[in-house]
Amino acid sequence: MASIFGNRLQIFTGNANRELAQRIADFVKVPIGKATVSTFPDGETFVRFDENIRGNDLFIVQPTCPPTNQNLMELLILVDAARRASAFRITAVLPFFGYARQDRKDQPRVPITAKLVANLLVAAGVNRVLAMDLHAQQIQGFFDIPVDHLFCSPIFYRHIAEKKIPNLTVVTPDIGGMKMAAAYAQMFNCGLAIVSKRRLSASETESTQIIGDVNNKNVLLVDDITETAGTLVSAVEILRKQGAKDVYVGIPHTVLTPTGIERIQKLHIKELITTNTTPQQEIKGVATTVLCVAPLLGEAILRIHAGESVSSLFEIRAGVKT
């Protein structure tokens, strides 16, 4: 498949989420490119492209999910190898962008690691970034190259709308998720509530109050990422104290630790709705739906390759029926 520039589209991947990369390739109708991505006995990463990529339009699918540093290094080395092999353009496809929560200097003598990672990607040779549900939209500004920022909201909308949940209210577990929650509330034409929280540690939070009415309501609790599920636990506890009925949890990126899995199992939520931006594991005793983002990413790749607009894909209201 040639672009407007006459360059062939190729999709490659590291080891972070090969299943998603294969689904994207199937949607785009191109084979996964042949590349060796392995590890030396001392832990160093080795990369070799096993087919010609000279002058081609490369899309490298590699979420920087746990093990974060390993997957990030694989991506950087893949990009460097592609640049040295004379690829025409290199697009880093980041379904999940690790280090995104370290996006500001919120205490003395700490780094802004999200900006550092952006600098590393550009320095390695990335020409364009395709990302999904960044923790903060301003991270796009950390890159001095084009960034296409997609949202999972159209996929979530279709799944939740089919359920026809009565008396629904959308809830965000912290002030930072207000924009996302407001967009979902507008989609479903329903109420909106905010949980005020206080962070006690990296894995513990305390919810203090709710702004909005959740009494006798079915709740859709939306956030962008969860690892230890500390925020979810405190939010669900206060929602139930305030009279909420069924609680649905919608999170694009679930990178759960063993502690997070144990906590979610004890929450007794109605359904956990997530996506395959990162590899998912079964959570026993929890009704879990994993939605596939491959068609959305695949369509974006096709449009970028053809030099077409992708704006309709990353508008957060793209899932609204008119």
How far apart, in whole angstroms, are the C-alpha atoms of residue 20 and residue 113? 26
User: Which residues are CB-neighbours of 3 under 8 A, at least 6 positions away?
Assistant: 9, 57, 305, 306, 307
Written as six digits, the tokens of 106 are: 């919120």
**197 included as an active-site residue:** yes
How far apart, in whole angstroms, are the C-alpha atoms of residue 131 and residue 62? 10
User: Which residues are CB-neighbours of 219 under 8 A, at least 6 positions away?
Assistant: 168, 169, 170, 171, 193, 239, 244, 245, 246, 247, 248
Catalytic residue among 197, 241, 245, 266: 197
- Beta-ladder partners of 272: 249, 288
200 φψ region: left (φ > 0), alpha (ψ -120 to 50), beta (else): alpha
- Beta-ladder partners of 90: 58
- Cα–Cα separations (whole angstroms), residue 123 to 77, 113, 127, 131, 143: 11, 15, 10, 18, 11
Check: CB of residue 141 under 8 Å from CB of residue 104.
no
Q: Find out whether the peptide bond into 67 is cis, omega within 30 degrees of 0.
A: yes
Check: CB of residue 40 under 8 Å from CB of residue 46.
yes
How far apart, in whole angstroms, are the C-alpha atoms of residue 72 and residue 117? 9
CA-based nearest residue to 155, from 11, 318, 322: 318
Q: Which residues are the active-site residues?
A: 197
